[in-house]
Amino acid sequence: MIRPALRAARRPVRRPALRTADLRLGERLLAAVAAFGVAAVPAALLLVLIEANWPPLHRLDAGTAGHLHALVREHPGALAVLRVLSDVVWDPLTMRLLVAAVVVLLLRRAWRLALWAAATATASGLIGWGVKAAVARARPALPDPVAHAPGFSFPSGHAMTAATCCAVLLLVSAPVLGPRVRRAAWAAALVSVLGVGFTRVALGVHWVSDVLGGWLLGTALVAATAWAFRGWRRDTGRDVPAPLAEGLEPELAGPAPERG
């Protein structure tokens, strides 16, 4: 028997109301980018501590960078693995291509969800670039460095992209994954996000606080744009699911394509 909530979610919506809601979805996505500033308060507080050279955070940054740098230099094999993970497997381009592939798959079946995924991934890159330029924090300067990276240091673009793209992929795919596969997907995403941060610090191209800032900003952005998408569903009379369990568009689990 189909659950009442799912039945309600599939009720046809009048086209004029749907068109109005579609326009409001675009407005909501723009508003979400503005609301992101509020959601990013923890990252802003972290930046204040960085600029104030707060001793505990400074010790964490300097101590971790120095320890991991010395450790990596002594193990060339581990260094090679870290480079492949950072520059190929978890590279921002790889992450964005995964999201782009999902967007293409969604265009005919759920174009609004595709718009949300594309907008979130694009905003992540633009915001990360903008914050880097505004903060202009220098990267670690370590003796005999094992890796180099261009540009400024805060936030870590790799960490922000990983947090954003992994969250997008999880929220989009949740409806079509069984409970066990969903748990495995969450585990893989967690390993990827944490692994990205570790590789960037171990390679000596970011401070720990850069990675923390990237994670906080990426999570805040996804939370803000997901709020906008859930608001669109509410405007159109659709069920608003629990995103962590059912994703943003639970209808993807059913056989019927999206209408409207």
Span 149-178, pLDDT tens digits: 888 999 999 999 999 999 999 999 888 888
Give the residue from 185, 195, 131, 115 showing the smallest Cα distance to 158: 195
Half-sphere exposure of 138 (CA within 13 A, CB side): 3
DSSP string, 117-146: HHHHHHHHHHHHHHHHHHH-PPPP--SS-S
Give the mean pLDDT of 7-29: 52
The SS3 assignment for 108 reads coil
The model's pLDDT over 89-142, given as tens digits with 9 standing for 90+, comes to: 999 999 999 999 999 988 888 888 898 999 999 999 999 999 999 989 999 988
How large a percentage of the chain has pLDDT more than 90? 45
DSSP string, 176-204: GS-HHHHHHHHHHHHHHHHHHHHHHHHTT
Q: Kindly tell me if the per-residue pLDDT of 251 is higher than 90.
A: no
Half-sphere exposure of 162 (CA within 13 A, CB side): 31
Identity at 186, one-letter amino acid code: W
Active site residue 158: yes
Question: How many whole angstroms separate alpha carbon 122 and alpha carbon 33?
Answer: 11
Residue 57 near residue 209, CB atoms below 8 Å: yes
Q: Kindly tell me if the per-residue pLDDT of 252 is higher than 90.
A: no
- Please give the pLDDT value at position 208: 95
Question: How many whole angstroms separate alpha carbon 97 and alpha carbon 113?
Answer: 17
Identity at 150, one-letter amino acid code: P
Cβ-count burial of 245 within 10 angstroms (0-12 exposed, 13-18 middle, 19+ buried)?
exposed
**Cα 183 to chain center, whole Å?**
18
Residue 171 near residue 242, CB atoms below 8 Å: no
- The DSSP element (H or E) to which 31 belongs, if any, is helix 15-39
| Residue bearing the bigger pLDDT, 33 or 70 | 70
Count the residues in the chain: 260
Which pair of structure tokens corresponds to residue 243? 């995103």
Give the mean pLDDT of 48-58: 90
pTM: 0.83
